[in-house]
Structure 1
Amino acid sequence: MMRRFTKPVFLLLMLCITALCVQAQSVVISGAVIDKLSKAPVPGAGITIKGKTVGTTTNQSGKYAFSTAEKAPFTIVISFLGYTSIEKLISGNTANLNVELEQEGILGQEVVISASRTPEKILESPVSIERMGHSAIKEQAAPSFYDALNNMKGVEVSTQSLTFKSINTRGFNSNGNTRFNQFVDGMDNQAPGLNFAVGNIVGINDLDVDNVELLPGASSALYGAGGINGTMLMTSKSPFDYQGPSFQFKTGINHVNDNNTGVQPYNQLDVRLAKAWNNKFAVKGTFSFLQAQDWQADNFSNFDRAARKGKDGNRNSDPNYDGINVYGDEVSQNMRNVAQSVLNAGTSGFVQGALGLIAPPTAAQIDAFKSNPAGLNALNGFLRTNATMRPFYAGLNTPGLLPDQNVSRTGYEESSLVDYKTQSLKASGSANYRFSKTVEAIAQVYWGSGTSVYTGSDRYSLRNFSIGQYKLELKGQDFFLRGYTTQERSGDSYIASILGSYINETSKKSTDWFPQYVGNYIGAKSQGATDAAAYAAARAAADQGRFVPGSKAFGLAKEQILNTTIAGTDFKKGIYGAKFNDKTNLYHYEGMYNFSNLFNNVVEFQLGASYRLYQLRSNGTIFNDLVDEINIKEYGSFAQLGKKFFEDKLKLTVSGRYDKSTNFDGRFTPRVTGVYTVAKNNNIRVSYQTGYRNPTTQNQYIDLSVGGGSQRLIGGIPEILNKYSLFANQAYTDVSYRAFLAAAAAGNPDPTLLKSYSFDAKGVRPESVQAFEVGYKGLLGPKFLIDAYAYYNIYKNFITAVDVYQRNTDGSGFTKFGVPVNAAGKVTSYGAALGIDYLLANYNLSGNISYNNIGDIPDNYINDFNTPKIRYNLGIAKRELIKNVGFNVNYRWQGKFYWNSSFASGDVPAFASLDAQVNLKIPSVNSMIKIGGSNVLNKYNFTSYGNPAVGAIYYVAYAFNP
Structure 2
Amino acid sequence: MKNCFTRTCLCSILILLNLWSVAQAQQTTITGAVTNSTTSQKMPGVTVSVKGALTGAITDASGNFRFNTTRSLPLTLVFSYVGFKSEEVTVSNAGEPVNVMLSSTEILGQEVVVAASRVAQSILQSPVSIEKLDSRAIKASPAPTFYDALANMKGVEMSTQSLTFKSVNTRGFNGNGNTRVLQLIDGMDNQAPGLNFSVGNIVGITELDMDNVELLPGAASALYGPNALNGIVLMNSKNPFDYQGLSANVKSGILSEDGRSKATTGYYDVTVRYAHAFNNKWAFKLNFGYIKADDWQAYDPRDQSTLNGHGLADGTRANNPAYNGINTYGDETNVNMRTSLQPAALNPGNPLGDGIAALSAATGGAITPAMIFNSIMPATANSFVSRTGYDERNLADYDTKNMKINGALHYRIKDNLEAFVQGSYGTGTTVYTGADRYSIKNFRMGQYKAELKGSNFYVRLYTTQERAGDSYAIGTLAQGINEAWKPSTTWFPQYFGAYATQALTTFRDAFVGALGGGQTPAQAYAAATAAAQNGSTNFHNGARATADQGRLLPGTSEFDAAATKVKEKPIPGNDQGVGARFADKTNLYQGEFMYNFSNLIPFVEVLVGGNYRVYSLNSGGSLFALDDNGDEFNIKEFGGYVQAAKGLIDEHLHLTGSIRYDKNENFKGQFSPRLSAVYTFLKTHNIRASYQTGFRIPTCQDQYINLQTPQYRLIGGIPYMIDRFGLKNGPVYTLESVQAGTPQQYVFRDFEPERIVAFEVGYKGLFANKVLVDAYVYSNNFKNYNGVQALVKPNATTGGNDIFSIPVNLDRDIKSWGWALGLDYSMPLNFAIGGNISYNDLRDDEGLTSAGVMWNTPKVRYNLYLGNRNIASSNFGFNVTWRWQDKFIWNSTFVSPAVNTLGISEIPAYGTLDAQVSKLFPKAKTTVKIGGANILQKNYIQSWGNPTVGAQYYVSLGYNL
For this structure pair, what is the TM-score category when the shorter chain's length is used for normalisation? 0.7 to 0.9
Task: Tell me which residue corresponds to 1:868.
Answer: 858
- How far did residue 511 of structure 1 move? 0.7
Query: Which of 647, 663, 673 is equivalent to 2:676?
Result: 673
Superposed CA deviations along residues 339-369 of structure 1, whole A, max 9, x for unmatched, are: 146679x99x99xxxxxxxxxxxxxxxxxxx
Cα separation, 2, equivalents of 1:776 and 1:936: 35
Task: Tell me which residue corresponds to 1:482.
Answer: 460
Task: Tell me which residue corresponds to 1:901.
Answer: 892
Q: Secondary structure in 1 aligned to 2:564?
A: helix
Query: Which of 544, 548, 552 is equivalent to 1:547?
Result: 552
Query: Which of 783, 802, 818 is equivalent to 1:831?
Result: 818
Task: Tell me which residue corresponds to 1:239.
Answer: 240
Query: Which of 336, 339, 345 is equivalent to 1:337?
Result: 339
Q: Secondary structure in 2 aligned to 1:171?
A: coil
Superposed CA deviations along residues 633-653 of structure 1, whole A, max 9, x for unmatched, are: 001111111111122111111
> Measured at CA, do residues 432 and 398 of structure 1 come closer, stay the same or move farther in structure 2, by a change above 3 Å?
same
Is the contact between residue 56 and residue 242 of structure 2 (CA under 8 Å) also seen in structure 1?
no
Structural mapping, 1:580-619, within 5 Å: 580-600=582-602, 602-619=603-620
Residue 744 of structure 2 corresponds to residue 755 of structure 1: yes
Larger deviation, residues 718-727 vs 857-866: 857-866
Task: Tell me which residue corresponds to 1:813.
Answer: 800
Is the contact between residue 33 and residue 63 of structure 1 (CA under 8 Å) also seen in structure 2?
no
Structural mapping, 1:307-346, within 5 Å: 310=312, 312-340=314-342
Query: Which of 655, 659, 667 is equivalent to 1:656?
Result: 659
- How far did residue 162 of structure 1 move? 0.5
- How far did residue 262 of structure 1 move? 2.1
Task: Tell me which residue corresponds to 1:696.
Answer: 699
> Measured at CA, do residues 485 and 316 of structure 1 come closer, stay the same or move farther in structure 2, by a change above 3 Å?
same
Cα separation, 2, equivalents of 1:69 and 1:580: 54
Residue 769 of structure 2 corresponds to residue 782 of structure 1: yes
- How far did residue 283 of structure 1 move? 0.7
Task: Tell me which residue corresponds to 1:468.
Answer: 446
- Give me the identity figure in percent: 47
Task: Tell me which residue corresponds to 1:141.
Answer: 142
Q: Secondary structure in 2 aligned to 1:498?
A: helix
Cα separation, 2, equivalents of 1:662 and 1:52: 40
Query: Which of 377, 402, 407 is equivalent to 1:424?
Result: 402
> Measured at CA, do residues 580 and 880 of structure 1 come closer, stay the same or move farther in structure 2, by a change above 3 Å?
same
Is the contact between residue 183 and residue 232 of structure 1 (CA under 8 Å) also seen in structure 2?
yes
> Measured at CA, do residues 259 and 199 of structure 1 come closer, stay the same or move farther in structure 2, by a change above 3 Å?
closer
> Measured at CA, do residues 287 and 394 of structure 1 come closer, stay the same or move farther in structure 2, by a change above 3 Å?
farther
Is the contact between residue 345 and residue 352 of structure 2 (CA under 8 Å) also seen in structure 1?
no
Residue 638 of structure 2 corresponds to residue 635 of structure 1: yes
Is the contact between residue 452 and residue 462 of structure 1 (CA under 8 Å) also seen in structure 2?
yes
- How far did residue 506 of structure 1 move? 1.1
Query: Which of 525, 539, 543 is equivalent to 1:534?
Result: 539
Task: Tell me which residue corresponds to 1:950.
Answer: 949
> Measured at CA, do residues 667 and 553 of structure 1 come closer, stay the same or move farther in structure 2, by a change above 3 Å?
same
Residue 880 of structure 2 corresponds to residue 881 of structure 1: no
> Measured at CA, do residues 715 and 53 of structure 1 come closer, stay the same or move farther in structure 2, by a change above 3 Å?
closer
Cα separation, 2, equivalents of 1:88 and 1:237: 24
Residue 880 of structure 2 corresponds to residue 892 of structure 1: no
- How far did residue 846 of structure 1 move? 1.8
Letter in 1 for 2:327: N
> Measured at CA, do residues 850 and 924 of structure 1 come closer, stay the same or move farther in structure 2, by a change above 3 Å?
same
Cα separation, 2, equivalents of 1:853 and 1:308: 31
Q: Secondary structure in 2 aligned to 1:265?
A: strand
- How far did residue 256 of structure 1 move? 4.5
- How far did residue 704 of structure 1 move? 1.9
> Measured at CA, do residues 248 and 341 of structure 1 come closer, stay the same or move farther in structure 2, by a change above 3 Å?
farther
Is the contact between residue 33 and residue 58 of structure 1 (CA under 8 Å) also seen in structure 2?
no
Task: Tell me which residue corresponds to 1:939.
Answer: 938
Cα separation, 1, equivalents of 2:423 and 2:98: 40
Is the contact between residue 826 and residue 858 of structure 1 (CA under 8 Å) also seen in structure 2?
no
Superposed CA deviations along residues 117-150 of structure 1, whole A, max 9, x for unmatched, are: 1111111100000001111112221111100000
Q: Secondary structure in 2 aligned to 1:440?
A: strand
Letter in 2 for 1:245: L
Query: Which of 817, 838, 857 is equivalent to 1:850?
Result: 838
Task: Tell me which residue corresponds to 1:576.
Answer: 578
> Measured at CA, do residues 61 and 949 of structure 1 come closer, stay the same or move farther in structure 2, by a change above 3 Å?
farther
> Measured at CA, do residues 712 and 49 of structure 1 come closer, stay the same or move farther in structure 2, by a change above 3 Å?
closer
Task: Tell me which residue corresponds to 2:363.
Answer: none
Task: Tell me which residue corresponds to 2:387.
Answer: 409
Superposed CA deviations along residues 871-918 of structure 1, whole A, max 9, x for unmatched, are: 000111111114111111111111111111110251111111111111
Give the paired residue count: 882
Cα separation, 2, equivalents of 1:67 and 1:448: 36
Larger deviation, residues 67-76 vs 99-108: 67-76
Query: Which of 396, 400, 403 is equivalent to 2:375?
Result: 400
Is the contact between residue 33 and residue 59 of structure 2 (CA under 8 Å) also seen in structure 1?
no
Cα separation, 2, equivalents of 1:858 and 1:607: 43
Q: Secondary structure in 2 aligned to 1:142?
A: coil
Residue 273 of structure 2 corresponds to residue 272 of structure 1: yes
Letter in 1 for 2:420: I
Larger deviation, residues 861-870 vs 947-956: 861-870
Task: Tell me which residue corresponds to 1:6.
Answer: none
Query: Which of 482, 485, 505 is equivalent to 2:483?
Result: 505
Larger deviation, residues 461-470 vs 720-729: 720-729
Larger Cα-atom Rg: 1
Cα separation, 1, equivalents of 2:259 and 2:324: 24
Q: Secondary structure in 2 aligned to 1:562?
A: helix
Query: Which of 680, 687, 694 is equivalent to 2:690?
Result: 687
Cα separation, 2, equivalents of 1:822 and 1:578: 29
Is the contact between residue 53 and residue 416 of structure 2 (CA under 8 Å) also seen in structure 1?
no
Cα separation, 2, equivalents of 1:902 and 1:124: 41
Cα separation, 1, equivalents of 2:248 and 2:32: 28
Structural mapping, 1:155-304, within 5 Å: 155-304=156-305
Superposed CA deviations along residues 568-625 of structure 1, whole A, max 9, x for unmatched, are: 421xxx422111100001111111111112112x201111111110111111222113
Task: Tell me which residue corresponds to 1:454.
Answer: 432
> Measured at CA, do residues 35 and 930 of structure 1 come closer, stay the same or move farther in structure 2, by a change above 3 Å?
farther
Letter in 1 for 2:328: V
Q: Secondary structure in 2 aligned to 1:231?
A: strand
* Stretches of structure 2 lacking an aligned partner (at least 5 in a row): 1-26, 360-367, 507-531
> Measured at CA, do residues 623 and 343 of structure 1 come closer, stay the same or move farther in structure 2, by a change above 3 Å?
farther
> Measured at CA, do residues 75 and 492 of structure 1 come closer, stay the same or move farther in structure 2, by a change above 3 Å?
closer
Query: Which of 440, 459, 470 is equivalent to 1:492?
Result: 470
Cα separation, 1, equivalents of 2:701 and 2:719: 14
Letter in 1 for 2:176: N
Cα separation, 2, equivalents of 1:855 and 1:695: 25
Structural mapping, 1:695-714, within 5 Å: 695-706=698-709, 709-714=710-715
TM-score computed with the length of structure 1 as normaliser:
0.87
> Measured at CA, do residues 465 and 94 of structure 1 come closer, stay the same or move farther in structure 2, by a change above 3 Å?
same
Is the contact between residue 431 and residue 444 of structure 1 (CA under 8 Å) also seen in structure 2?
yes
Superposed CA deviations along residues 449-501 of structure 1, whole A, max 9, x for unmatched, are: 00000000000100001111111111111111111111100000010111101
RMSD: 3.0
- How far did residue 406 of structure 1 move? 0.9
Task: Tell me which residue corresponds to 2:365.
Answer: none
Is the contact between residue 914 and residue 934 of structure 2 (CA under 8 Å) also seen in structure 1?
yes
> Measured at CA, do residues 649 and 754 of structure 1 come closer, stay the same or move farther in structure 2, by a change above 3 Å?
same
Larger deviation, residues 648-657 vs 803-812: 803-812
Is the contact between residue 122 and residue 129 of structure 1 (CA under 8 Å) also seen in structure 2?
yes
Cα separation, 2, equivalents of 1:955 and 1:379: 64
Cα separation, 2, equivalents of 1:805 and 1:311: 31
Letter in 2 for 1:845: I
Is the contact between residue 356 and residue 369 of structure 2 (CA under 8 Å) also seen in structure 1?
no
Q: Secondary structure in 1 aligned to 2:435?
A: coil
Cα separation, 1, equivalents of 2:634 and 2:89: 61
